[in-house]
Each structure stands twice: as structure tokens, then as C-alpha cells.
Amino acid sequence: MRLYRSHVLVGMDTFTLLAGARKVKEHLIRQIEKRGLSDEIKVLETGSLGITNRGVVLLIYPEGCYYVNVKPEDVPEIVEEHLLKGRTVQRLLFKGELERKAVALPESPLDVRRQSRVVLQNCGVIDPENIDEYIGRGGYEALERALFQMKPQEVIEQVKRSGLVGRGGAGFPTGLKWEISAKVASEEKYIICNADEGEPGTFKDRVIMEGDPHRVIEGMLLAGYAVGANKGFIYIRGEYALSIQRMEKAIKQAYEYNLLGSNILETNFSFDLEMRKGAGAYVCGEETALIESLEGKRGEPRNKPPYPGTCGLWGKPTVVNNVETLANIPSIIVKGADWFRSLGTKETPGTKLYTILGHVVNQGVIEVETGITLRKIIFDYGGGMKNGREFKAALVGGAAGCFLGKDMLDVKMDYTTLKSYKAVLGSGAVLVMDTSTCIVDMLRCILDFFKRESCGKCVPCRMGTDRLYRLIVDISSGKGTKDHPKLMLELAQMMNKASFCPLGQSVLLPLSSAFKYFEDEVMEHILDKRCPAGVCKMGEK
């Protein structure tokens, strides 16, 4: 194996590709060749480097320094200065761009070394399109161990003991879910990876799939082995072009290595994997609507019970797991349940991926141990509030999430703790808002989203989302009356009780939390016909 003096990692994710990462990489290779450094310096593609909205991002080892906003015309300078002469290019270096010096941070606020990376351990490190690099980092070791040293029931036990709960939002214990399907006698069972990441403000699963697709495949294989399923589907968000491309490539490579297909590693275990693209319906992230869609039907939820675990895809026992959940499995099998339990909180051990976005300095996906506070997410990893404005609220858990005000900054962001505050962690999206945000306008956006995404099957959700949207538009355009908030809450409460699926049921949460924290602001819209943040255009509709 050839040894290189330096490695240049080009982060290839959806953001950087749009910013021209491919072109930068071509220039890099050309410039390195021109300087005759091809034998010394290796240019590699990798997944997200953890820095979002900073154009093309490069990570150069062994120094471990990040360059951001790299343009093709910057490449000669980087090659000349850094790679040839060993001098960093200060103007492109990622410094975190902190404006409030109060929080002391190292050079890279989203620095992966400060995170506890389990799911993202290979992300930004390996070439996601090369199976050998995954294997080189211990990939498929868990599969091998399970197939040769463990009975399916032992795999389930280990996952159960680890205390892993579903990372898609509902937080159901994964091992228990598997056990239910494993116990059903059926010749056909299915594993579905829910990669239809549709929660607004969430793109953690995309980062996993773009950065380490084989981890997801391995997780599915382990689930299949554990419950006795021989067929898996990845139901992937149709807009995730790069994820689709990388997952497809990964599946192909896994088949070539007989890590998928018949008699995997010459055992009796066989597992086939297919990918299906979603068509952009939020409700298809709900597991039974997802299954309907997979069967080729309208994406509408099914009644539960029966749950997919006993009667899912084509009426067979089906395990539906989120991408992040599955990506946790290989490490749990290799390192053990006790190791996993040593991470995070007692109630929900392990790590969690949070998508930080909104009015913070650093937006992006971080992986940290559970139990982190909102304050730490925003002011530590997020680099604090942008433009020095004051923190107003955070919407945690996406559109179906909950507004958290200042008083919640020191609450631990895990499933159990949030539940005790009648809030949810959901997908782990943290949308941070400063004082320039109007809550009524935020609600308008959220309710518009629900109105568009309701499948229309049940009356409370179909009509309720539509009516709520019309009522909030009234308020935001100065036509609201004192009865509006009351009627809206009455509707949302009815929807919470009567809707068929979680989509309609969850509208209450953002609505009631917004009304609770920001009642004055809402009433100001209604009584004074005035938007304190100056966002709503009163008198227009």
C-alpha cells in the first residue's frame, strides 16, 4: 500500500456539490499533477465534513485543517502554499467566524473531534463510494460476528440491552420492535429502512447516507438476521439525489462482495435489498403510509393495530427502522450493549444526531451523547446566535415539534426528559429563532406545511389543517378576532384526539406551545393589528 504525505478530503454532500465541489476536486487533481505531487498527496471524496452553508469544504490531513468557501480559482494557492510549502491559507481557513467571544471555542465549532461520533464515525473520513474503505474501518465486522458467533435471538438481546430507541421520532425501543417480528412465524418478513426524511429542518439521515452508506446496509442486514427476514427495502426520499446514488452504489458493491444476496459469507443467511424512491409526501414518513406507498398504493396511513411488526408490507411481519437507528446497530454488535449504555443518559443511552439550523452561526448536523442541553447545542456547537441578536425560541423536532422558550434552554434534549415537559425530540431538528422572527409568521409557515402535507383521508386532519391555516392567515393579515386563538386551539385539540395518524395529531404541539410562550405577541396581532417583529404584512391577505 502506498503511503501519502498528505490527504485532501473533499466533502461531497448536497450542499458542497451545489457549490461546485466536483469542479474544485478536478482542479485539485490537475494542480497536484502539475506540481508533480501525485505520488505524495492523495485527493479523496468523502461525505459531509460537518460544516454546512460554507460552500466547498476541504479537510487536509495530517494537519486536520478545514478550508471553506473554496472556489476553483483558490486551488492553485492551496496547492502552492499549503501542500507544497506547508503554509496554511489563512483567508480560507475555517475559524468558526464567531462574533460573540464570550463562548470560548476551538477553531472549528462543529469540530468532529469534540463530538461523540458513533453513527458518523466514518463520515468525512472515508470515501463513501468505496466499500473497501468501510471495511478498512471495521465495516461488516458486526455482520460477520453476528453470522458466525451469535444466534439471531442473541443479536436481539444485545440490541435490547443496549437500550437503543428509534431515532425517527417516536422513540420506540428497537430491540423490542425486532423481537415482536422475530416471534411471528412467517416465511416472509421484511426490513424497511425509513429514509424518507421529510421533517422540515432535518437532514441528518442524508448526511449518514451520503457519508457512510454501508453502515445503513449493515444495520439492515443485522436486523434481517435477527428477525429472520430475507428482504429489505430502503424507502428513500426522492429528492435525495446524492444519497440515492451513493446507496445504489453501495448496494451494488455489497452484492459484489456477497454481503448481500444468497448465502452471505457462505452461511445460510440470504438477504436482498432494494431501494424505492418516495414521491415527496411527508405522510409517507409514517410507517404504515410508507408501507402503503411501497405496495404501490396511495400514501395513506393504515389503522393500527395491527402494527407492521406483525402485519406490515404485503401483510407480512415488517420492521421499519429509521436510518440513524440502523446505523447505530453495527457498533452495538461490535462494541457491546454495555459500551452503548455508557454513552448518553440512562433512559436513552447512546448518541443523537441533531440538525442545527436557523439563526445560529454554525448550521449543520452534529452527533453528541444524549442529554445535551439546548443551550449547549445552540451556544456551543451552534456557535451562538447569529448577528448578535437575542435568542427567542427554538422549534425542536421539526414542524411536528414544539416551541421551546428561554426557560427551556437548560433542559436535556432527550426523549424521556422532553416528554416530561410535554415536548418531543422528534427527528432532532433544532430550528433556532432570534428576535427578528415573528411567531405568528412561523405558525403560518408550519400550518401551511401541514395543510399541504395532510393526505386528506380523515376529516379532522384534511379539514382541520385547512381551517387552521386560514385562521392564522387571518391573524397575520390583521383580520383576526379574539375568538381566533380559542377556535384554533379547539380545532387542534380535536385533531389531536380524532385524527387518524400522527400527522393530524401533532399539529397541536407547535400551536399550543407557540400560544403558550408568545400569547402576547399573538394578541398584539389581533388587538393592535401590529406585528412586533415587523414580519407580517397587516392588511394584506
| Sites of contact with other proteins (CB under 8 A) | 281, 283, 298, 303, 451-460, 462-467, 470, 487, 490-491, 494, 497-500
Q: Which is nearer to other proteins, 140 or 282 (CB)?
A: 282
CB-wise, 381 or 469, nearer to other proteins? 469
Residue 112, all three cell numbers: 468532529
Instruction: Please report how close the Cβ of residue 426 comes to other proteins at its closest, in angstroms.
Output: 20
Whether residue 226 contacts residue 156, with contact meaning beta carbons closer than 8 Å, is answered with yes
**CB closer to other proteins out of 346 and 497:** 497
Assess contact for 361 and 72: CB atoms under 8 A. no
Give the Å distances, CA to CA, from 198 to 4, 185, 206, 336. Answer: 41, 33, 11, 31
Task: Kindly state the smallest distance separating residue 507's Cβ from other proteins, in Å.
Answer: 12
What is the CA angle 61-133-76, rounded to 5? 35
C-alpha cell at 198: 421529510
H helix or E strand, kind and range, residue 252? helix 241-256
Which of residues 360 and 471 has its CB atom nearest to other proteins in the complex? 471
Q: Which is nearer to other proteins, 329 or 503 (CB)?
A: 503
CB 120 within 8 A of CB 353: yes
CA geometry: angle at 386 spanning 538 and 121, to 5°?
Answer: 125
Single out the residue of 102, 96, 78 nearest to residue 29, CA to CA: 78
Q: How far is the CB of 470 from other proteins (least distance, A)?
A: 7
CB of 487 to other proteins, least distance (A): 7
CB of 6 to other proteins, least distance (A): 52
Query: Can you read off the three cell numbers belonging to residue 339?
Result: 459500551
Smaller CB distance to other proteins: residue 284 or 439? 284
Nearest-angstrom CA–CA distance, 257 and 136: 14
Distance of closest approach, residue 501 Cβ to other proteins, in angstroms = 10
Residue 432 is classified by DSSP as: E
Distances (CA, A) of 129 to 89, 145, 276: 29, 24, 19
Cβ closest to other proteins, residue 13 vs residue 453: 453
Nearer Cβ to other proteins, position 160 or 467? 467
Q: Which is nearer to other proteins, 26 or 448 (CB)?
A: 448
- Minimum CB separation of residue 197 from other proteins in Å reads 19
Cβ 282 to other proteins shortest distance, Å: 10
CB of 374 to other proteins, least distance (A): 28
- Chain centroid to CA 9: how far? 22
Do residues 499 and 465 touch, judged by C-beta distance below 8 A? no
CB of 174 to other proteins, least distance (A): 23
Beta carbons of 43 and 78 less than 8 angstroms apart: no
Grid cell at residue 230: 430475507
| Distance separating alpha carbons of residues 61 and 478, to the nearest angstrom | 57
Check residue 302 and report its DSSP letter. P
Choice between 285 and 344, CB closer to other proteins: 285
N-to-C CA span, the chain: 66
| Dist. CA 265–CA 285, nearest whole Å | 33
The SS3 of residue 282 is: helix
